[in-house]
């Protein structure tokens, strides 16, 4: 068995490298999505600031807005997980 692992040990390193690349690319994708989202909201933020909104108010609006998009997806994912974990449907 040790002989087998010594022969394919390089493959483990290749998979580790691929995992790091996937993490790097996904992090870059998240950063691009955040940047695009904020550049799309730039005008709205400028209007709110012109009307007298504080930075804390704008930050709260952005955080609550993104949380509002996340909660239904999280709920749906949790329901699917629980259905699979409990063996539904039988």
Tell me: the pLDDT tens digits for 18-70?
A: 999 999 999 999 889 888 877 878 888 899 899 999 999 888 888 887 776 67
CB 57 within 8 A of CB 48: yes
Cα separation, 45 vs 64, in Å, equals 14
What is the DSSP track for 10-73?
HHHHHHHHHHHHHHHHHHHHHHHHHHHHHHHHHHHHHHHHHTT--HHHHHHHHHHHHHHHHHHH
Q: Determine if the pTM surpasses 0.85.
A: no
* R_g of the chain computed on alpha carbons: 22
Task: Check residue 61 and give its pLDDT.
Answer: 83
Question: What number is the average pLDDT over the span 66-78?
Answer: 76
Task: Check residue 22 and give its pLDDT.
Answer: 96
């Amino acid at each position: 068995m040790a002989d087998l692992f010594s022969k394919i040990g390089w493959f483990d390193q290749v998979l580790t490298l691929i995992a790091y690349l996937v993490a790097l690319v996904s992090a870059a994708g998240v950063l691009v999505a955040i940047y695009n989202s904020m550049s799309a909201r730039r005008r709205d933020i400028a209007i709110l600031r012109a009307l007298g909104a504080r930075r804390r108010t704008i930050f709260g609006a952005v955080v609550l807005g993104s949380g509002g998009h996340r909660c239904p997806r999280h709920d749906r994912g949790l329901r699917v997980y629980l259905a699979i974990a409990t063996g539904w449907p039988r």
